[in-house]
């Protein structure tokens, strides 16, 4: 019998309490308390959608375990880990810029990071064909010594180091398609030639001063950091062009033994924290492209970990299409329930300025990789 796509989640993920406020603050006291942008709804509604549609039966449900402090220290400093625990044990507080720790958040964050480790184990031990981990709190903004942007522990970064230590891997590809730059992951592997980090993100979004095309790594890691900053308004066509012209040819030469994905479904037209136009179908196409790379290059070893995405109505459908692509099966959910709101948008058009942005990456990265031949 063929292996199924694994699905990892835990009810505790939905109980991480980051308070209220538009983005964790109350706009100088001028607004009444609002729902926190990184709230449980998008993740819980994805699980609800999988259950309601019956598609959960097509997946292998896998329970996550807690990451130990020693495992989290594969990426984070002990001082920072202790800080998060102390805040969690007391009254909560800030672990960094826009990184709120609620009471009990430390144990939930352990379980979130543990979800990423469980995903690695599942694909490495061939317990699942690939895995989607519905991890929360997210991780890719978290630096070694502080949290940032809703992120406490950097789930994917810890998982990459865990894969190296546990399985002796020497070439791991991390693809971050969250609309915001994965600054924490970039910082952690900037001088590392065993981790190839690729970030597709909206330029000048968050953090506004990170993720430039000229940030290409240093020392041994020179050329192993690939930023693809895309202009506001980029849709399915722009993302697929970047995957085809930059990510795939570099990955072919790198020959990864494992692919990890920081999957943020916040590049959609409905997201309140971005200005992009990737549709649910587009996310499915992106996932199918990456799955195809994994099948060609690393025996299908692919672990996808949930990051951002803040449209409580649309993220569940975007994520469903991703999981469908990973599994190779279709759910009972036909079409796009939000089509009326986006049918006039040029989501499948590659505009010249978007192409130019990707071609600029090709030009810079061609100094390190054999890419760009025949580029118009």
Instruction: Catalogue the active-site residues.
Output: 141
Helices (H) and strands (E) in the chain, counts: 12, 12
172 near 194, Cβ under 8 Å?
Answer: yes
d(C-alpha 28, C-alpha 121), whole Å: 45
d(C-alpha 180, C-alpha 14), whole Å: 22
Inter-helix orientation angle 315-327/41-53, to 10°:
50
Q: What would you report as the CA-atom Rg of the chain, rounded to the nearest whole angstrom?
A: 19
297 near 252, Cβ under 8 Å?
Answer: yes
Distances (CA, A) of 7 to 65, 83, 310, 322: 13, 31, 21, 12
Query: What DSSP string describes 12-55?
Result: GGGG----BSSSSS-GGGTS---B-SS-THHHHHHHHHHHHHTG
Q: How many residues does the chain have?
A: 376
Q: Which DSSP state fits 221?
A: G
Write out the two tokens for 342: 């986006």
d(C-alpha 196, C-alpha 293), whole Å: 14
Of 273, 287, 193, residue with least CA distance to 239: 287
Of 220, 217, 214, 308, residue with least CA distance to 261: 308
Tell me whether strands 195-202 and 130-133 are parallel, antiparallel or unpaired.
Answer: unpaired
Write out the two tokens for 230: 């895309």
Write out the two tokens for 350: 């590659």
- If phi over 0 gives left and psi between -120 and 50 gives alpha, with beta otherwise, what is residue 266? alpha
CB atoms under 10 Å from CB of 164, counted, come to: 19
321 near 338, Cβ under 8 Å?
Answer: no
């Amino acid at each position: 019998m063929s292996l199924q796509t694994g699905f990892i989640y835990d009810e505790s993920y939905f109980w991480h309490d980051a308070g209220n406020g538009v983005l964790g603050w109350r706009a100088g006291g001028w607004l009444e308390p609002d729902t926190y942008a990184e709230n449980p709804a998008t993740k819980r509604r994805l699980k609800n959608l999988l259950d309601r549609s019956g598609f959960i039966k097509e997946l292998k449900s896998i329970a996550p375990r807690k990451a130990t402090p020693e495992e989290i220290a594969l990426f984070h400093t002990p001082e920072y880990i202790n800080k998060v625990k102390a805040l969690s044990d007391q009254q909560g507080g800030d672990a960094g810029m826009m990184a709120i720790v609620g009471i009990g958040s430390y144990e939930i964050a352990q379980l979130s990071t543990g979800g990423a480790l469980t995903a690695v184990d599942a694909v490495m031990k061939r317990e699942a064909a690939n895995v989607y981990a519905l991890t929360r709190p997210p991780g890719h903004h978290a630096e070694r010594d502080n949290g940032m942007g809703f992120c406490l522990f950097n789930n994917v970064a810890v998982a990459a180091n865990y894969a190296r230590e546990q399985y002796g891997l020497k070439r791991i590809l991390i693809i971050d398609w969250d609309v915001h730059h994965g600054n924490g992951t970039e910082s952690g592997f900037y001088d590392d030639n065993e981790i190839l980090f690729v970030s597709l993100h909206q330029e000048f979004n968050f953090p506004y001063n990170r993720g430039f095309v000229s940030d290409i790594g240093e020392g041994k890691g020179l050329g192993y950091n690939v930023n693809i900053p895309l202009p506001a308004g980029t849709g399915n066509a722009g993302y697929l062009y970047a995957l085809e012209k930059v990510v795939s040819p570099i990955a072919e030469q790198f020959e990864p033994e494992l692919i990890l994905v920081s999957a943020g479904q916040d590049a959609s037209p409905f997201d309140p924290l971005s200005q992009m136009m990737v549709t649910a179908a587009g996310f499915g196409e992106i996932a199918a492209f990456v799955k195809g790379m994994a099948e060609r290059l690393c025996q299908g070893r692919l672990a996808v970990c949930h990051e951002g995405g803040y449209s409580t109505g649309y993220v569940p459908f975007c994520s469903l299409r991703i999981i469908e692509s990973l599994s190779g099966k279709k759910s009972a959910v036909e079409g796009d329930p939000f089509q009326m709101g986006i049918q006039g948008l040029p989501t499948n058009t590659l505009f010249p300025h978007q192409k130019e942005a990707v071609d600029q990456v090709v030009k810079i990265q061609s100094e390190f990789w054999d890419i760009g031949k025949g580029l118009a």
